Amino acid sequence: MRLKKRIFQRGQTVVESILVEGKERGIGSIEALSSGFNLVARQPWLILLPIALSLFLWLGPRLSPEPLARQVVDLMLVNPVSQASEYAESFRTAADSLIQSAQNTNLFALLAFGVPTIAPIPKSQTVLELSTWPAALALTVLLLACGIYLMVAYLGLIARQVRADGMPLSHVLGRSARHLWRFAVVGVMVMGATIVLSIPGMAVAGFLALVSARSALAVMSLLTWGILLAGMWLFFYLFFVPDAIVLDNVNVRQAIGRSLAVVRRNPGASLALILLTVMLTIGLGIVWESISKTTLGSVAAIIGNAYVGSALAAASLIFYGSRWYALEKEFAATHVAAAAPGQNTSDPVDK
């Protein structure tokens, strides 16, 4: 197996860091976070894309699906069932909620899919309304594809700094186009697995609804919890799939295998990193929201969120790179020892 060097800091490889600090299984979650924040502090240009997207969502035009929501509401309210006295209030409440959600929706936010951005409450924005379903569908797909590409390119630029291999930016952007499809495949696989797991429970709930509404409600509650637990399980074991794709340039099958291997080998450290990442994201999100009431506070929140989000992404890449490289080194040492037990295998990795 070909072993590649991952560089945390200029002139220091992951293996050297592991050997110097005596950590044969890779660095810990706290060290990964510290390395991530240090990397972004040394390369502040990495936060430019999140800042640009946040500024666009804050000050740029807003793409609103409100006319489409009103079309749906009109269809709801002309339904004879909605006009019955016992259902009229419920339908009106649902209609008002749908229109309110559409008014607060900006489809341009799809451009920030996976990139750490925040959008403070805008003072005034030009509103572009979507009034036809084909145009809305086409624009949604286009914006989502662009958003995924921007996310992949953003992670690719951070991975370039983690590797410190001097890859030209044009190569990073070109490689991101190939990675886009791999990310899309992962998303389709996760959604497909969720749907497949949901179908049996929904069928049972539908059958029980004909017999007992209470039984159907109980089954739906259990199904909801089951899907939630399955989603958490997938999130945990597939957490490093994006890191494997952008850092190692592997296909989806290999990325899933590497993520599973890293998590299985390091469940405690992986869980600690994930929990710290989630807590920092949620906790600081509350801080950013609280200070973004003024123009100056909004600017500070946008910059702070971009820095922290980029540092967390770098920390995940560094943690994965360290732990996977340690696994490669361990496998290489075991393989060499098994192939030639009489030879000295104290340094199986090619420096």
Tracing tokens 């990073």 back to the chain, one arrives at 172
Tell me if residue 346 falls in helix, strand or coil.
coil
User: Which among 243, 250, 246, 256 is positioned nearest to 186, based on CA atoms?
Assistant: 256
User: pLDDT band at residue 332, thresholds of 50, 70 and 90?
Assistant: confident
User: pLDDT band at residue 350, thresholds of 50, 70 and 90?
Assistant: very low
Q: Which residues of 274-297 are buried (b: 16+ CB within 10 A; e: fewer)?
A: bebbeebeeebbeebeebbeeeee
User: pLDDT band at residue 208, thresholds of 50, 70 and 90?
Assistant: low
User: pLDDT band at residue 196, thresholds of 50, 70 and 90?
Assistant: confident
Please give the Cα distance from 64 to 101 (Å, whole number).
10
**9: pLDDT strictly greater than 70:** no
Tell me if residue 156 falls in helix, strand or coil.
helix
Please give the Cα distance from 220 to 218 (Å, whole number).
5
Domain ranges for the chain, please list them. Answer: 16-60+179-328
Rg (CA), the chain: 24
For residue 175, give both structure tokens: 């490689």
3-state helix, strand, coil in the chain (%, to 5): 75, 5, 20
* pLDDT on residue 228: 82
First to last CA, the chain: 14
Please give the Cα distance from 339 to 56 (Å, whole number).
58
* pLDDT on residue 5: 42
**209: pLDDT strictly greater than 70:** no
**249: pLDDT strictly greater than 90:** yes
Alpha carbon of 274 to those of 57, 174, 205: distances in Å?
A: 28, 29, 34
Residue 106: count of CB within 10 angstroms of its CB: 20
User: pLDDT band at residue 96, thresholds of 50, 70 and 90?
Assistant: confident
For residue 181, the one-letter residue type is: W
